[in-house]
Chain A
Amino acid sequence: MSTDAELDGAVARGIDSVMDAGAQYCDVRYYGEDASEALLLHDGNLEENAAELESGLGVRVLHGGAWGFAATSRTEDAPRTFELALANARSAAALVAVPLDMGRQAPVIGSYRSPVAQDPLDVPLGEKLDFLRQIDARLQAPFVQHRTVSLQLQRMTSRFWNSEGSRIDRQLTNCFAELAVMGLDRDQLMQRRSKDLHTSGRGTRGWEMVLDPALWSGRAEPVVEELGQLLQAPVVEHRRRSVILLPGQAFLQVHETIGHPLELDRILGYELSYAGGSFVTLESFGRLRYGSQKLTVSAFGGIANSPGSFGYDDEGTPERDYLLIDRGLLVNCLSSRAMVHEANQRAGRPLFSASGGASRATAFYRAPIDRMTNVNVLPGTDGALADIVGATADGLLLDNPTSWSIGSNREHFHFGCEIAWEIRDGRVVGVRRNPTYQGHTLEFYRSLSAVGNATTWTVQQVPNCGKGEPNQIMEVGHGVPVLRFDGVLTGERS
C-alpha cells in the first residue's frame, strides 16, 4: 500500500469486516518502519555492523471472549490477515472458561514522538564508528585482555487503530550502549567490568544522549581502573551482612522482583506455562507489606527520557503515573484493559480503576501483553551514597549484574555482580571479586534500611526484557536510587 489513505481505507474495511462478523473488539498495528542498527567493536575489530528493517501488519480480534491474532510482512495480504485473526479468535472461543472483555474506553486520537535532538539513525555510520573507536582506545591497559564497545539504536514508526475509533501515530527512538573490559584475575579466571548508557530521566534521547560523557563514555577510564583493582582482589566471603546496591545493580533487582511479580497477567496465571507466576495474589493489594516504610515504587510511563516511555500503549491507553507500592504497602500493578476487567470480576469489586497502560508488543507480529513501563523506586531521605556508606557497619557495595536467576513465582532470587567494595565501620576498605547474593523477595524488601536521595537516582535502560509466548523482547526503564538492605546472604560456600 503506497499511501496513508490506502492504508487507512484497508484497515477500516478490515475492522468493519470483523466487527460485522460479531467480534467484540479489534485493533491493528502497522509498522511502516521498525529500523535498528547494531555496532560492536571487539578488541578494536568491528565484529557487528548490522542494520535491520521490519515492516508489516498485526491484527488482534476479540471474539466470543477469546483473542485471535495474525500478522503478515506482506501488506497486500491485509484482508486475509483480518480473516485469519477472526478465524483464530473463533477457534479459541471454543475453549473459554472466563471470557475476556476489554471494558470500555473512549476513542483516543493522538500521536507521540520520543524527544530527540539528533536522530541516531540519521547520524552517518562513519561518525558513529569514529566515536566508538575513540572510546575503545581509552579502554586499553596492560591488564585488559579484551574490550568491547557496542551500540544498539532503534527507531520504530507505527500506526494504531481500533474498533472504538482510536488512531494513534508513534515514533519511538532508543539508544543503548555498553562498554566493557575483561582481564584475568590471580586465579586465571576472567573478570569483567562494564558500563551501560543510563539517563537522568530528563532531556532528549537521541544521539546527543550517547555523546554525553556524564551518561556513559566518561566512565571509560574508571571502569578500566576498577578492573585492575578487581583482578587483585580477594573473593567475597560467604556470610550475612548489609548490601548497598548502586543503580547499576538495583535496577535489575527491582525489575526481577518488583516489576515482573506485579504484572497482572502473571498474577492472574496467564504466564504459568513459560515465564511463571507471582507470589502476589489479588488479595495482596492494599494488604501485603511488600517492603519497609522506605520503599515507594511507581509505574511512570511519562519519564521524558526512558525506553519505558511511549505515549500510548499498544491498545491505545495513554501512559500513566501511579504508585505500585506506597511506603511498603502493595497498592497497584502493571496492567492492560482485559486483565483489569478480569481481575475486577474475580475480586467481585473494582480492585483497579483503570488499565495501567502497560499493554505492549515488541513488533507488529506479536500480540501485546502486560509489560513494564518505567518501574521506579522513588528517591528517599537517607542522603547521598557517601552518607549511606558512612552509616553502614558491615556491608558490600555492589554494581552491575553478571547473573540473575529468580524463582518461578519471583519469591526468591540469586544475583551475581561484577564488583563489590567491602564496607567496615562506615568506610570502604577494598574491592572484592565474584560477588553474589541471594534472598527471599519479601524478607529482602522488608530489610530495606536506606534509600538514597535524588542525587543518587538515575534511569537505567533495559533493552532486553524477555517474556511471553511467542517470545517478546521489550525495552523498559527503571529510575532507581542507591538502596541498602540488611542481613543479606552474600557469596558462595567454598
Chain B
Amino acid sequence: MVDTRTRDSVLQVRDEAARRGIRAFFTLHREKSHLLRLGNNSVSLNTSEDLTRLDVEVLDGRRQSTCTRLGDLSTPDPVRLALERAVAQAAVAMPREYEPIEPVVERDIAEQPQYDAELEALDPATKVKTYERIMAAVGRGYNYSGSWSSGATELLLAGTASPAVAWHLGTDQHLTCVLKHPEERWELAVEQTGWRAGQVGAAQAIERFRGLVPVYAQPGWQVPPGEYAVAFGPQAIAELLALAVWTGFTGRGYEEKLGWTAGRRLGERILSERLTLVDDPAQEQTFRFGFDGTGMVRRRFPLVEAGKLAGLAYDLATAARYGRSPTPHAGSWSLAMAPGDGPPEVAAAVRDRERVLCIPALHYMNVPQRAKGIFTGSSRFSAVLLEYGAPARPLFSTRITDTFAKVFGNIETLAPTTVSVNLSNTYGRRQPEAASVPAYMVCSGVCVTDCADSF
C-alpha cells in the first residue's frame, strides 16, 4: 500500500539522521479502513479512510521525545520536519534518572502472514447484502444494528541503531450484528472476526439468532445478588483476560505495586491450574505480527502456565528503569488461552446443575481496585439462565463484581475448542488485535452484585 516515494522518504531521512549522529526511530503506519454501520435496519454510515502516519522517536542521551505526523508524507520534507521537531523537543527535555533503552529493529523482516487483497478491496455492497440476508432469514420484525469493519494495515519500522527494516502488511475484519426486540427491548448479538474475505458471513448470525429468539419469548429474570456458577462465552472470556493482563501482567504494574499480581513470584500459583495463557504471535486465531512496535522480534511468551505466573511484559522505559529486559509487547498482543477437556457444548458441561448463568459478553467493564484485581461489568447480549443445561429464561442486565483471581481461580470446565475474538479498537490508528479463547468457561462462585429490572 505504501507508495515507493513515501517509503523512500522515510528511509532517506533515517539515513540522514544516522549520518548526523542522531539516534532516531521511525514508524510509518498506513491504513486503508472501511466501516459499514447498520442502525434501525438501515446503513447508518458507510465510511472509508486512507491515512498515513509517521512517528519519530529521538533519544538524545537520557533525553527522549516523539513527534507524530499524520498527513502527506510522500516527500522527504515533512519527514525531516517531524525529525527536526523531535530533535528540538529532546534537546529541551530533562534527562531521565536512568539510561533509556533505544528501540532497535532486530533484523530485516518483510511479512504478510495474514493479507488478503480481496478483503482490502471488499465492496461495501457485499456487507449490505450480508446484513440483508440476516434480516430476511431471521425476520424483519426486529430492529437490527451492527458494524462491519475491514481494512489493511501496513507498518514500516526503521531506526538509526541498525540498518534493518521491518515491514508488515495485513488485513483484518470484524463483523457484529445486534438483534433487538422493538417492544421487549432485549438484545441478541453475534460477532465474527477474521483476516480473509469470506471468513465471516450471514450463516452464523442466522443460526445463532434462530436458536435464541424462542428463549427470549420467556419473561426476563432479575437475578438476586449472590454467588452463582457462570458459563462465560468467548467475548466475556477474552475481555476479562485482556483486562486481567492489562492490570496484572505488565512490568510497570508489577514493579510499582499497582497491579493485582504485585508481590507474587514467577512460578507461584495465582490462578486455576486449568488456565494456561500465552502471547503467541504464531496463533492463527489472533492477528499475527512478527515484530512489535519497538522492532523486537515476537516469540511465544507464556504469561500463565497451569495457573502459575510465568511472565510479565516490560516496555522499554520500565525495563530501563528497573533493570529488566524488555519484552516485545509494544502494540498488539496475541493472547491465546488454552482449551480444556470439557464437552463441546456448554449445555452438556452444565447439564447436572440446577442453575447456571450463561453470560456470553460483558458490557463496560472497569476495575474499581486494580491492586486487588476487582473488576465490575454487566451482562448484555444473549444472556440466559440455564437449568440443567437447557436455556430457560433470559437474564435482565446483571452486574458481576468480583476479582480476577477468584473468577480465573474457580474454573470448573473449559471448552475443548477455541474461538477468535476481536479486541481491536479504532480510537486512533488501525491496530488489529484478537484473542484465541475457549468457546466457553464455567466458573463457580461468581459474585452478582446487582441486577436491573430490564434488559
Q: Is the CB of A125 within 8 A of B454?
A: no
Docked Cα-Cα span, A471 to B132, in Å, equals 24
Chain A: residues with Cβ within 8 Å of the partner, total of: 87
Docked Cα-Cα span, A32 to B451, in Å, equals 48
Residues of B within 8 A of A77 (CB): 50
Whether A472 sits at the interface, judged by CB under 8 Å, is: yes
Q: List 16 A-B contacts (CB under 8 A).
A: A51-B86, A67-B44, A71-B49, A72-B51, A73-B72, A74-B52, A125-B93, A145-B257, A272-B145, A273-B178, A403-B376, A404-B366, A405-B365, A408-B397, A409-B397, A409-B455
Least Cβ–Cβ distance between B264 and chain A, in angstroms: 12
Contact with A along B37-55 (1 / 0, CB 8 A): 1111111111111111100
Closest 9 pairs between A and B when the two form their complex, measured CB to CB:
A416-B368, A92-B43, A92-B46, A270-B39, A69-B47, A403-B368, A54-B70, A88-B46, A189-B371
Question: A39-47, A202-210, A213-221, A329-337: which one contacts chain B?
Answer: A39-47
Q: Is the CB of A49 within 8 A of B71?
A: no
Whether B1 sits at the interface, judged by CB under 8 Å, is: no
Chain B: residues with Cβ within 8 Å of the partner, total of: 95
Q: Is the CB of B374 within 8 A of A84?
A: no
Q: Can you name 4 extra interface pairs (CB under 8 A) apart from A70-B49, A272-B39? A: A46-B63, A66-B43, A412-B399, A438-B450
Whether A26 sits at the interface, judged by CB under 8 Å, is: no
Residues of A within 8 A of B53 (CB): 73
**Given A84-B48, A492-B401: A405 and B149 within 8 A (CB)?**
no
Residues of A within 8 A of B97 (CB): 44-45
Q: Is the CB of A71 within 8 A of B50?
A: yes
Residues of A within 8 A of B50 (CB): 70-74, 77
Q: Is the CB of A279 within 8 A of B96?
A: no
Q: Is the CB of B378 within 8 A of A407?
A: yes
Residues of B within 8 A of A273 (CB): 37-39, 145-147, 176-178, 189
Q: Is the CB of B124 within 8 A of A91?
A: yes
Whether B203 sits at the interface, judged by CB under 8 Å, is: no
Q: Is the CB of A272 within 8 A of B67?
A: no
Write the chain B residue with the least CB distance to A44: B97
Whether B355 sits at the interface, judged by CB under 8 Å, is: no
Q: Is the CB of A403 within 8 A of B178?
A: no
Docked Cα-Cα span, A402 to B258, in Å, equals 13
Whether A228 sits at the interface, judged by CB under 8 Å, is: no
Residues of A within 8 A of B90 (CB): 49
Q: Is the CB of B380 within 8 A of A55?
A: no
Whether B363 sits at the interface, judged by CB under 8 Å, is: yes
Q: Is the CB of A407 within 8 A of B66?
A: no
Least Cβ–Cβ distance between A135 and chain B, in angstroms: 14
Please provide the chain B residues from 364 to 418 with a CB less than 8 Å away from any CB of chain A in the complex: 364-372, 374, 376-378, 380, 397, 399, 401
Least Cβ–Cβ distance between B363 and chain A, in angstroms: 5
Please provide the chain B residues from 54 to 89 with a CB less than 8 Å away from any CB of chain A in the complex: 63-72, 74, 82, 85-86, 88-89
Residues of B within 8 A of A53 (CB): 67-71, 82
Give the interface of A toward B (CB within 8 A): 44-47, 49-56, 65-77, 84-85, 88-89, 91-100, 124-126, 129, 133, 145-146, 182, 184, 188-190, 268-274, 276-277, 279, 365, 367, 402-409, 411-412, 414, 416, 434, 436, 438, 440, 466, 469-473, 492-493
Docked Cα-Cα span, A73 to B51, in Å, equals 5
Q: Is the CB of B131 within 8 A of A67?
A: no
Q: Is the CB of A46 within 8 A of B94?
A: yes
Q: Is the CB of A145 within 8 A of B256?
A: yes
Write the chain A residue with the least CB distance to B260: A189
Docked Cα-Cα span, A277 to B131, in Å, equals 20
Write the chain B residue with the least CB distance to A54: B70
Q: Is the CB of B180 within 8 A of A51?
A: no
Residues of A within 8 A of B145 (CB): 269-270, 272-273
Docked Cα-Cα span, A184 to B258, in Å, equals 9
Whether B263 sits at the interface, judged by CB under 8 Å, is: yes
Q: Is the CB of A46 within 8 A of B96?
A: yes
Least Cβ–Cβ distance between B438 and chain A, in angstroms: 24
Residues of A within 8 A of B371 (CB): 189-190
Residues of B within 8 A of A56 (CB): 51, 70-71
Least Cβ–Cβ distance between B310 and chain A, in angstroms: 23
Q: Which of B35, B43, B147, B176 contacts A95 (CB 8 A)?
A: B43
Least Cβ–Cβ distance between A370 and chain B, in angstroms: 12
Q: Is the CB of B452 within 8 A of A407?
A: yes
Residues of A within 8 A of B178 (CB): 272-273
Q: Is the CB of A97 within 8 A of B68?
A: no
Please indicate which of the listed interface residues A84, A97, A190, A273 has the most CB atoms of chain B within 10 Å of its own CB: A273
Q: Is the CB of B132 within 8 A of A95?
A: yes
Give the interface of B toward A (CB within 8 A): 33, 35-53, 63-72, 74, 82, 85-86, 88-90, 92-94, 96-98, 123-125, 128, 131-132, 143, 145-147, 149, 176-178, 180, 185, 187, 189, 256-258, 262-263, 317, 321, 363-372, 374, 376-378, 380, 397, 399, 401, 425-427, 447, 449-450, 452, 454-455
Docked Cα-Cα span, A77 to B49, in Å, equals 12
Q: Which of B36, B70, B128 contacts A73 (CB 8 A)?
A: B70
Q: Is the CB of B427 within 8 A of A471?
A: yes
Docked Cα-Cα span, A471 to B147, in Å, equals 12
**Given A272-B187, A273-B146, A408-B364: A190 and B370 within 8 A (CB)?**
yes
Q: Is the CB of A92 within 8 A of B128?
A: yes
Q: Which of B68, B427, B450 contacts A51 (CB 8 A)?
A: B68
Write the chain A residue with the least CB distance to B455: A409
Q: Is the CB of B366 within 8 A of A269?
A: no
Residues of A within 8 A of B40 (CB): 97-98, 268-270
Q: Is the CB of B454 within 8 A of A466?
A: no
Residues of A within 8 A of B88 (CB): 125
Q: Which of A66, A88, A493 contacts B48 (CB 8 A)?
A: A88
Residues of A within 8 A of B427 (CB): 466, 471-473
Q: Is the CB of A96 within 8 A of B43?
A: yes
Docked Cα-Cα span, A34 to B64, in Å, equals 23
Docked Cα-Cα span, A73 to B455, in Å, equals 42
Residues of A within 8 A of B98 (CB): 45
Q: Is the CB of A269 within 8 A of B454?
A: no
Least Cβ–Cβ distance between B100 and chain A, in angstroms: 10
Q: Is the CB of B452 within 8 A of A50?
A: no
Least Cβ–Cβ distance between B58 and chain A, in angstroms: 9
Docked Cα-Cα span, A96 to B144, in Å, equals 12
Residues of A within 8 A of B374 (CB): 492
Least Cβ–Cβ distance between A145 and chain B, in angstroms: 7
Docked Cα-Cα span, A287 to B206, in Å, equals 38
Q: Which of B44, B48, B64, B262 contacts A46 (CB 8 A)?
A: B64
Docked Cα-Cα span, A67 to B37, in Å, equals 10
Least Cβ–Cβ distance between B318 and chain A, in angstroms: 10
Q: Is the CB of B365 within 8 A of A67?
A: no
Q: Is the CB of A184 within 8 A of B257?
A: yes
**Given A46-B96, A54-B71, A55-B70: A406 and B187 within 8 A (CB)?**
no
Docked Cα-Cα span, A273 to B113, in Å, equals 30
